[in-house]
Chains A and B, each alone.
Chain A
């Protein structure tokens, strides 16, 4: 398996522009997580989906952020409008549910480094 795939790997955009980050989870995994990593705040969970349904979006910073999972193999995180303080590395992770040794292991993608100028 190719692992969790994220695109783009790097994104530079101007303040006010819309940004869309994409994630393809590992085939067969039914949970998907979006994280944001910054120097100041560390690794924060933004939102997670179970069977394509958003379960907890309490980590989404504000209404400018939205996430969708239209099917089991694709998810997007959108920021509109973007601001300089959104600059961070955004990670997508997926996990399977099954036996206890699989259930809690999250597999991370390589991340998207977003810079908003």
Chain B
């Protein structure tokens, strides 16, 4: 079984500041890793994913994440945030085999960007 822990439920930052949203996972098997974003009153949208290869993954809207197998982490970063990045961000994992592609989500981190 897999589990995901998002260490911060809320992250307030000022516009143009850098941000890191933390995600740690637990799994007895190899996993794929994802970050989804949910804007207010909308569904979830895929931000980026790690399937294989380079551990640094770039996504939409200037976000990137780094897979660290030894620390079982997949932290999301952006060097300079905008007001429009205000949203809730979800980290998710899926077992590479036998899961039918099911996603296990973390509880989410609400990013609030202030002017």
Contacts and interface: CB of A to CB of B under 8 A. Distances in A.
A108 interface: yes
Contacts, number: 52
Given A42-B106, A104-B51, A109 B100 contact: no
Contact of B107 (A42, A101, A108, A111): A42
Interface residues of B, number: 21
A77 interface: no
Interface in A77-117: 91, 93, 95, 97, 100-101, 103-111
Interface string A35-67: 000000011010010100001100000000000
A4 interface: yes
Contacts of B90: 43
Contacts of B32: 104
B103 interface: yes
Interface stretch (B11-19, B40-48, B63-71, B77-85): B40-48
A108 B101 contact: no
Interface of B: 32, 34, 36, 41-46, 49, 51, 90, 94, 100-103, 105-108
Interface of A: 4, 31, 33, 42-43, 45, 48, 50, 55-56, 91, 93, 95, 97, 100-101, 103-111
